[in-house]
Structure 1
Amino acid sequence: MRLSFLFIAFTAIVFGCNPSKQEYDTIIRNGMIYDGNGGEPYKGDIGINADTIAFIGDLSKASAKNEVDAKGNAVAPGFINMMGHSEESLIQDGRGQSDIRQGVTTEIFCESSMGPLNAKTKKQVQEGQGDIKYKVEWNTLGEYMNFLEKKGISPNIASFIGTDVARVYVLGEDNIAPSPAQLDSMKLLVRQAMEEGALGVSDALIYPPATFAKTDELIALSKEASKYGGTYSSHMRSEGNKLWEAVEELITISKEANIPAEIHHLKAAGKDNWFKMDSVIKRVERARKEGLDVAADMYTYVAGATGMTSAFPPTLQDGGFGKLRERLMDPKIRKEMVKAMNTDAIDWENLYYGAGGAEHVLLLGFKQDSLKKFTGKTLAEVAKIRGTSPEETAMDLIVQDSTRVGVAYFLMSEENVKKQVSLPWVSFGSDEASYTTEGVFLKSNAHPRAYGNFARVLGKYTRDEKLMSLQEAIRKLANLPSKHLKLQKRGELKVGNYADIVIFDSAKVKDNATFDKPHQYSEGMIDVFVNGVVVLKDGEHTDARPGRFVKGPGYKMNN
């Protein structure tokens, strides 16, 4: 009799805890599940409780408060924008629609960072704002990230600390090397940021003042990040004439600092350098075989976007943008710069020359309302309108706008884009902000990658051109960046992981943004969940803002 009672009790416990019969907050039914590991998809259901994936399998006998019928469409882990720049756009509009509508659930901030700031740099950030206006209410990187989360955002966010930010905090914007004591101060800033949750250290070595840092300085800062399990990421010192040397520098930093490394927006810029991509791929793969954790990300377009100031030597910006602007008003220096702009420079990255001249430089945005009429025109077109040479026009626009002037340079080859897109160690990043097709965002032209980079991977390169399988594309969009950055419980559909989930129609996913009309959402994404909350339902934003500050491996709770 006692045995029978125990059997009945055991049976009740087993069936009472049977996950397939429980009630969930949300059940996604009838999905074709791509778990993010690159394996074959399978039909199944997903049960979500609170912010977590609670069950994957057959939930035909279970119920939920919220039921979603995937109708056989792809169900995948949320995508990670490995190189995003939504630091300001999410302050303006926390919905991040241009990315959410492509399935991006986590934004990675890199190259530079929004902290730490001292009194001087805080003032510079406040006064240097363009169309998006905000009060700088933070000092440290962690404070900024917490500010953004508290404000309310749809995607998750994570950030590196910029080596340039640490440098400017201690040294200012001059082209000088730090003393041992100054370097110690920079290291302390890195340690503090890592303990606040930074992913590692990041730089953009093509731009002043980051370009003033020598390799030994970068190794020293990377060693501090390495102690916390961080990563080193870089917009390398050259993507053109010295591309090979730049890759070697990154590999050296990775090896000497014992730190994983990420090449941002991998490319060979300038027609004369396109042939170098094959050897760059071989060099990275050799480093990986030797045990170095070196990876890369890319955007799926042949044009990059940056400042018109990249047409001038970095030394012109020694002391900061204000000094550059002063120098561009000096007749003697202007004459020298006309020559410099048309020189295939070896000691700096001349993007104007690499693009092939003014016809291949597209103007994207201005701060001054009087200049916004030139948005969407090429530098050659504006030069003709103004009756000045392209070189004079470029200098005049920078001086008159008092900004670096946002432009797109057409630098890359489609052949190389196709080579890179299927590499197993290459993830994807927009190198752009996340926008909404309204309000202040329409005052400037975005690069179409802001609206189409991830949809383009799934549609153009996976479905249409068949450069990789859909399961491999999803792995590279989600699991690869998550593992490389050591993000916890993200990037994979797995019980216990956070419920960052996307549902999309693989036959219909498509990018629509163009350089002529960039503010156009992609299509094909149906539902998007962030931390278990639906932010996109039937292709429309719900206005939910469950995004969180995702901390790096060195985060200390009591910081």
Structure 2
Amino acid sequence: MYTVLIKGGEVFDGSGREAFRADIALQGDKIAAIGEQLKEPAELVVDADGLAVAPGFIDIHTHTDATIFSCPMSTSKLLQGVTSEVIGSCGVGAFPVHPSYRGELLEYLKIHGFSFPAQGVTWEDLTGYAAELGKLKLGTNLLPQVAHGALRGAVVGFGAQKPTAAMQAQMEQLLALAMEQGAWGMSAGLIYPPGSFADTEELIGLARVIKDYDGLFSIHIRGESQTLRQSLDEAIGIARESGARVQISHLKAMGRTQWGMGRECLELLQRSREAGVDIAADQYPYEASSTSLTALVPQWAHSGGVARLLERLDDPDLVANIKEEIGREINMRGGAERIRITALASPKNREAALGKSLAQIAAAWNLSPEETVVRLLKEEKGVVNAVYFSMDPEDVKTILSDENVGVGSDGSGMAREKGKTTHPRSFGTFARVIGPCVREGILPLELAIYKMTGLNARRLGLTDRGLLRPGLAADLTVFDPAAVCDRADFLDPQQYPVGIEYVFVNGELAVRRGALTGAAAGRVLLKKP
């Protein structure tokens, strides 16, 4: 007897091929059989007539590690059909931890919205971190990457200095240890200190370690606006010199002066692949990005960590230059009216700032936008998040239609929480792609599913998920292709999608008719070295 029999669905197997009608049988945590009119009985029968059956969606770029200790079910992802999430993205992550820099690491993680277990950070490496995650009742599978910012912080510290040869060797040894412990690769966030202080030579050395372990190097490139082309060239050079598999995180062209460059970026990556470079990208389907408000502050002001940043914001000899550079960054991102505050550390400024544009707050406070940024960061100890409406809708569509660009939310697993706001990508990315984006003709459904299943699994080197095949892991998403739709928007981002009918994680029914069943079947997935 099968555990589960999913009958009569249109099967999209994750390879990109056209759908076919079939039954799918599950036995425990594996797919047992796929075929027409399977006869053996099952403990649970799901009628999938009129529904699409796909591999569970793989979110290749997330920040769910920021919220996992407060929302281990990763509710907003699970209800989109996501069954596996890559964590430790953009060079921001919770390991490795060196006792000498633990305090600076925690402050650094706080400005990126991290919550921690009640007992605090007790681990030092991936093994300890994975053990702590394993104590949680997880809704989705978690695939950890080494975060370059944490790695560099553990060896070099949080300043701007170039590592000595001995420090470089130590970073490479720590990275190799993490890969031995099961990391899927490394991420870098080259706009976020301390990762932004790394030069190309440092990154190539680390990428060679990743290549030795057949891992993925995900890069939030140094610039996505005026320096977009140079930043892509740097990433391509790292891939070429190291031989590593490189992923451009959340590919985009920010700022009106760069609008229309989406096609050029895709062509550049394609030419590189044709020349033998293993490079691709991922993307979320929105016209606004989201990150810390500290991203508006010049890099030099971050050297030494959050405490030194706040000191510099309070230094009359430095703050004028800081505000001037903040002003340039605001303009590059489209102006103060296109930057909206989504998260604050304390209740103090919530009424005045939460959900409002920088321009609105500045007007209410009778300050310039630059002065407003400085005040918010000082009063909130650097913990302020914002969305930035800086992308061309046509570029978003062009990039989304490319078969070599995977789908990654760049969001976190969350549950609805009154009085909070966020970017809608955490609640709607995958439903948006397979629903409205498909129905608008941006891409066909079989390609959309491939970009969030088979493609992402291949980029990661994840061999037991991402496809529907007998013997592979029983992660599946069943949805109504005519009805599936994201409901989250920038005015009300905490809305769950509709049309995701059933989700199976490791063979257990986690979502039934669009609602959680309470099953916590997620696992920490470690890569075999």
- What is residue 119 of structure 1 aligned with on the other side? 99
Name the stretch that deviates more: 545-554 or 198-207.
545-554
* Residue 139 of structure 2 corresponds to residue 163 of structure 1: no
- Mapped contact 1:430–1:450 kept (Cα < 8 A): yes
SS at match of 1:92: coil
**Equivalent residue for 1:455, pick from 422, 431, 437:** 431
* Residue 518 of structure 2 corresponds to residue 533 of structure 1: no
Between the aligned partners of 1:467 and 1:203, the Cα distance in structure 2 is 30
SS at match of 1:158: strand
Between the aligned partners of 2:324 and 2:374, the Cα distance in structure 1 is 13
- What is residue 496 of structure 2 aligned with on the other side? 521
**Equivalent residue for 1:397, pick from 370, 376, 384:** 376
Q: Which amino acid aligns with 2:197?
A: F
Q: Deviations over 1:474-496 (max 9, x none)?
A: 11110001001100210000011
- Mapped contact 1:230–1:553 kept (Cα < 8 A): no
Name the stretch that deviates more: 77-86 or 91-100.
91-100
Between the aligned partners of 1:131 and 1:424, the Cα distance in structure 2 is 33
- Mapped contact 2:327–2:369 kept (Cα < 8 A): no
- What is residue 78 of structure 2 aligned with on the other side? 100
| Aligned-residue offset at 1:404 | 4.1
Q: Which amino acid aligns with 1:446?
A: T
Between the aligned partners of 2:501 and 2:80, the Cα distance in structure 1 is 9
- Mapped contact 2:429–2:486 kept (Cα < 8 A): yes
| Aligned-residue offset at 1:59 | 4.2
- What is residue 477 of structure 2 aligned with on the other side? 502
Name the stretch that deviates more: 54-63 or 407-416.
54-63
When normalised by structure 2's length, the TM-score is 0.96
- What is residue 13 of structure 1 aligned with on the other side? none
Superposed, 1:248-263 pairs within 5 Å as 248-263=233-248
**Equivalent residue for 2:459, pick from 478, 484, 488:** 484
Between the aligned partners of 1:121 and 1:101, the Cα distance in structure 2 is 37
- What is residue 54 of structure 2 aligned with on the other side? 76
- The 3 A distance-change label for structure 1 pair 382 and 321 is same
- What is residue 229 of structure 2 aligned with on the other side? 244
Unaligned stretches of 5+ in structure 1?
1-22, 344-349, 555-559
Superposed, 1:410-421 pairs within 5 Å as 410-421=389-400
* Residue 519 of structure 2 corresponds to residue 544 of structure 1: yes
Superposed, 1:269-418 pairs within 5 Å as 269-343=254-328, 350=329, 352-373=330-351, 374-418=353-397
Q: Deviations over 1:108-149 (max 9, x none)?
A: 112222111012443345566468452223211232123213
- Mapped contact 2:431–2:484 kept (Cα < 8 A): yes
- The 3 A distance-change label for structure 1 pair 191 and 85 is same
Q: Which amino acid aligns with 1:34?
A: F
- What is residue 208 of structure 1 aligned with on the other side? 193
Larger radius of gyration: 1
Q: Deviations over 1:308-357 (max 9, x none)?
A: 112121001111111111111122322222322233xxxxxx3x222222
- What is residue 19 of structure 1 aligned with on the other side? none
SS at match of 1:407: strand
* Residue 70 of structure 2 corresponds to residue 85 of structure 1: no
Q: Deviations over 1:217-268 (max 9, x none)?
A: 0000111111111111100011111111111111111111111110000001
- The 3 A distance-change label for structure 1 pair 542 and 406 is same
SS at match of 2:24: strand
SS at match of 1:496: coil
- What is residue 557 of structure 1 aligned with on the other side? none
Between the aligned partners of 1:332 and 1:75, the Cα distance in structure 2 is 61
Between the aligned partners of 1:435 and 1:97, the Cα distance in structure 2 is 6
Between the aligned partners of 2:32 and 2:407, the Cα distance in structure 1 is 28
Between the aligned partners of 1:103 and 1:321, the Cα distance in structure 2 is 37
- Mapped contact 2:155–2:171 kept (Cα < 8 A): yes
Q: Deviations over 1:413-449 (max 9, x none)?
A: 00100101110100111111111113xxx44311011
| Equivalences, count | 521
Between the aligned partners of 2:300 and 2:317, the Cα distance in structure 1 is 16
- Mapped contact 1:486–1:553 kept (Cα < 8 A): no
SS at match of 1:275: coil
* Residue 133 of structure 2 corresponds to residue 137 of structure 1: no
Between the aligned partners of 2:313 and 2:184, the Cα distance in structure 1 is 38
- Mapped contact 2:29–2:474 kept (Cα < 8 A): yes
- Mapped contact 2:55–2:475 kept (Cα < 8 A): yes
Between the aligned partners of 1:500 and 1:198, the Cα distance in structure 2 is 21
Between the aligned partners of 1:118 and 1:316, the Cα distance in structure 2 is 23
SS at match of 1:72: coil
Q: Deviations over 1:157-214 (max 9, x none)?
A: 1021112211110111111111111111101110011011111121000111111000
- What is residue 15 of structure 1 aligned with on the other side? none
Between the aligned partners of 1:368 and 1:481, the Cα distance in structure 2 is 37
Between the aligned partners of 1:545 and 1:315, the Cα distance in structure 2 is 44
- Mapped contact 2:345–2:383 kept (Cα < 8 A): no
- What is residue 51 of structure 1 aligned with on the other side? 29
Identity across aligned pairs (percent)?
Answer: 35
SS at match of 2:229: helix
| Aligned-residue offset at 1:375 | 0.7
- Mapped contact 2:263–2:399 kept (Cα < 8 A): no
Between the aligned partners of 1:531 and 1:278, the Cα distance in structure 2 is 38
| Aligned-residue offset at 1:457 | 0.5
Q: Deviations over 1:68-95 (max 9, x none)?
A: 1112300000111111111032211221
